Structure 1
Amino acid sequence: MNEDNITTGWDAIEAQMVRLYGTQEPKHYGTMIPYMLGGNDPLDGLSAYKADKPLPHWHIVTFGFSELYEKESKNADYSGFGFELTFRLAREEHEEEPPMWALNLLQNMARYVFNSGNVFVSGDHLDANGPICLGADTKITALAFIEDAELPAVDTENGRVEFIQMVGITEDELEAMKTWSTLNMLEACQKQMPGYITSLSRESVLQDPAVYDAVQKGIERDGSSTGFLFVDQLLWESGQSSQSGKNSAVLTLGAKQAAAVSTLLRGRLLKQRDLILSGQNLQVVLLLGDKSEYEITENNVLLILDTATITELSQVLGPKEAEIRLSAFDDLIIRVVKTNIKDQDGNIVSTIG
């Protein structure tokens, strides 16, 4: 914290933590070189508190997504990005400091937000494409976001700040959130994940028959709340007319996203909700219609599917290489290609498909 500056925003965050933990002195981790001066860490600091309920854990809060000092942004309603992240991590009895990987993870989240401008809100989810603790033998490979139950939003002199808790989840839990709802899924497993405390050693809550049944009934009843899915391997090739006839158009997507799209076809389109697939330079909008057809505009494809075609496609679309021809189209191929999962250094660590 820079004592030469007004610390209005910083003080507002600390006041909320004092309300919870009284005089407990947190473990605080500051940043040596400010991000704006070329430092590697966007957050000015992180504080970790020892919490004992409902289970022993570290309660870590960030300082830096919001405006900690003087007001700089033009948005008077929100302070900076309008939130700070919290993370509740299971704590061993002998631990006196939180693990560094957890602090690095929060700084990585900050790099993503600062570089992209995308913010986290309650109900979001994020695939980490591998263990959230690099090199760990854990099934926790993704993150969900929900309002921290003990830290309601506060109005500071710099604007509103919400406290969004980051929750470690497994791959199948992530898929359930995509095909149903992040918040509904978290509510369904509240007993199995008290306080939404992240534990690297836990198994998927979907192994509990009661949770699995609740999720399946919820998907059937509500459909999916995921209307937008980023697909990094999304391509469209228009069919070319020639003397010998017209070649088929080709819609290509990666195997990693194919299974999610298959489920979302039922959870969105059959509930009369559209689904948007977005790639680097292409957007595909899928809609339920009376007749299966497609329309093409610049960098956009509108794919209208009738009920029978949705059912057919959802049954054959999966996480494996394939060329799919649908009964309703004689001029369209849906191609599924392998997805290479890479680590932070760009090395391929696994392949899907």
Structure 2
Amino acid sequence: MKPLLGGGALRGVLPPISQRPASQTPPPGIDAIYQACKKVYPEQANPLQVTAVVKYWLGGPDPLDYVSMYYNQGTKDVPQHWHYVTFGFSDLHGDGRVHPISTPNMPSGFGFELTMRLKREEGETGPPTWPAELLQSLARYVFQSENSLFSGDHVSWHAPLDNSESRITHMLMTDDSQLPMISTPLGTVSFIQVVGVCSEELRAAQQWNGPGVIDILKSVPVAGGPWLVTDMRRGETVFEIKPELLEDVDNGIKTSGSNLSGVSARCVWLEMEEDDPESPPKLSEEVSKQIKVALLQGLEKSKQQIAEDQRPASSSEGDDNTSSVVPHELLCTRTLAGIHLKFNLEAASLFPLSCRGRILHGRHFTFKSVHGDTAITLVATGVAGSFVSEEKPFAAKGPWLQVLVPDHFASRLLEDLDELTNPDNIVLPKTYHWPDRRIQISVLEDNHFLDPVTYNEISTS
């Protein structure tokens, strides 16, 4: 996902809550977050806050009402840094102006706020404001896509987070070390910390899992340390600092595989028939909405069931009690004679990962189109709830395609697609054929795909 900085609204410094007139009682969601931060920073009752002058609920472009910025003096093992905390992913007001009204035992809004820790540079007297812009960009993605962020997730950003020449170009998500989940009158709120990482560290999280790489970063002070402070001037990856850590990642992949269950990507699938031209499926708007909801629910359930990742997982929920209201087009499974899968280079580079870290561990992996309802799910033999079989390895429900990938073919794909693990060396377009399996994969330039939008990864934690 590339940065969308700028937003377009004027920004300023909001008077801290404690300095506002007594008649202006803080809304319950704002006050709950403020009180949680006050426990960590009792001497900073008046933190600087970046705010959008035109609020989102008044037509402004920035979903976050505020971003508070605190000074953290660190510890012996943690450097001095700036601590950023968002206000707006959760329900701040409780009156339905942004989020549906919830009860105290339910998630408030999206159920989380984001934080970030940025190393304080020598001579800095105030916090840089670019992290607030970065957090607003993530908020725009979440609000527009309705995809939540969870501890253990990763976000491919493909640009220095501060628009400099830094190697810190991607993000991992983890629980904030000082801000535990809180219960508010409007629901529960978790604090998810954004951690800046290098491309090699992101790749390790993709191939293995986010929490494992987070633990590695915590063990190396200059790469984050115990509180995972992002240092935009860090010039070495954690694996260049301590090469032996690569062995930990390899061992983790061999024993537990990857917990990356799917990605939003630039992709499309086409049916291959001897007499008919290739054509993508067309569906009504109602069915498209049903598919989007079903796919998002499936990924959400994957995140909430870590234990399920240790055995074959379900690509679709067989006990879903909403099936009675699903349109007939979704209930009808269509088998295909052959398929042609098309990906951009970034998505294609994850194909070997899906085989090595998911299929060969008896799991599934989904590519969800970023500009439509198309989805491609690779399924290992024996995954419960799938609608493919050895006799019918390709099947579709509307634009959702499932592809059975037996272990022997997964191993073959790993060998044939090995060059995709080094995408910088690939010359596009590139096509791979397996005539005996009736599968063709094409890797194309981004501009082949219509209406390109931001790219974000979805991982189970």
User: 1:227 corresponds to which letter in structure 2?
Assistant: S
Answer yes or no: is 1:68 the counterpart of 2:100: no
Give the one of 63, 70, 74 matched to 1:42.
Answer: 63
Give the one of 396, 402, 410 matched to 1:302.
Answer: 402
Provide Cα deviations, 1:227-278, integer angstroms capped at 9, x if missing partner.
Answer: 112221x1222223239xxx96421111112222212211111111111222
| Contact 1:140–1:171, Cα closer than 8 Å, also in 2 | yes
Corresponding position of 2:39: 19
* In structure 1, distance between residues paired with 2:230 and 2:161: 11
Corresponding position of 2:213: 185
Corresponding position of 2:440: 333
User: 2:400 corresponds to which letter in structure 1?
Assistant: N
Corresponding position of 2:259: 225
Q: Please list every run of 5 or more consecutive structure 1 residues that lacks an aligned counterpart in the other structure.
A: 347-353
Q: Which has the higher strand share?
A: 1
* In structure 1, distance between residues paired with 2:442 and 2:183: 50
Change (3 A) 1:259 1:70: closer
SS of residue paired to 1:161: strand
Give the one of 69, 73, 85 matched to 1:52.
Answer: 73
1:340: Cα distance to partner? 6.2
1:8: Cα distance to partner? 1.9
Give the one of 432, 441, 444 matched to 1:324.
Answer: 432
1:161: Cα distance to partner? 1.0
Bigger relative contact order (CA 8 A; separation at least 6): 2
* In structure 1, distance between residues paired with 2:400 and 2:31: 47
Change (3 A) 1:225 1:27: same
Provide Cα deviations, 1:283-327, integer angstroms capped at 9, x if missing partner.
Answer: 222123395963232313222222222112122221333211237
| Contact 1:82–1:162, Cα closer than 8 Å, also in 2 | yes
| Contact 2:86–2:113, Cα closer than 8 Å, also in 1 | yes
Corresponding position of 2:325: none
1:90: Cα distance to partner? 0.7
The normalised TM-score by structure 2 is: 0.68
Matched length: 337
| Contact 2:338–2:394, Cα closer than 8 Å, also in 1 | no
* In structure 2, distance between residues paired with 1:236 and 1:65: 34
Corresponding position of 1:272: 362
* In structure 2, distance between residues paired with 1:340 and 1:285: 23
After TM superposition, list the pairs within 5 Å mapping 1:1-353 onto structure 2: 4=24, 6-24=26-44, 25-53=46-74, 54-72=78-96, 73-76=100-103, 77-134=106-163, 136-192=164-220, 193-194=224-225, 195-202=227-234, 203-207=236-240, 208-232=242-266, 234-242=267-275, 249-279=339-369, 280-289=372-381, 291=390, 294-297=393-396, 298-317=398-417, 318=420, 319=423, 320=426, 321=428, 322-326=430-434, 328-329=436-437, 331-339=438-446
* In structure 2, distance between residues paired with 1:230 and 1:131: 21
Q: Please list every run of 5 or more consecutive structure 2 residues that lacks an aligned counterpart in the other structure.
A: 1-16, 277-336, 382-388, 454-461
* In structure 1, distance between residues paired with 2:245 and 2:447: 31
| Contact 2:102–2:186, Cα closer than 8 Å, also in 1 | no
* Range with bigger deviation, 21-30 or 165-174: 21-30
SS of residue paired to 2:443: strand
1:5: Cα distance to partner? 5.5
* In structure 1, distance between residues paired with 2:217 and 2:190: 23
| Contact 1:5–1:69, Cα closer than 8 Å, also in 2 | no
Change (3 A) 1:222 1:248: closer
Change (3 A) 1:5 1:213: same
RMSD between aligned alpha carbons?
2.4
* Range with bigger deviation, 119-128 or 16-25: 16-25
* Range with bigger deviation, 176-185 or 27-36: 27-36
* Range with bigger deviation, 140-149 or 285-294: 285-294
* Range with bigger deviation, 297-306 or 87-96: 297-306
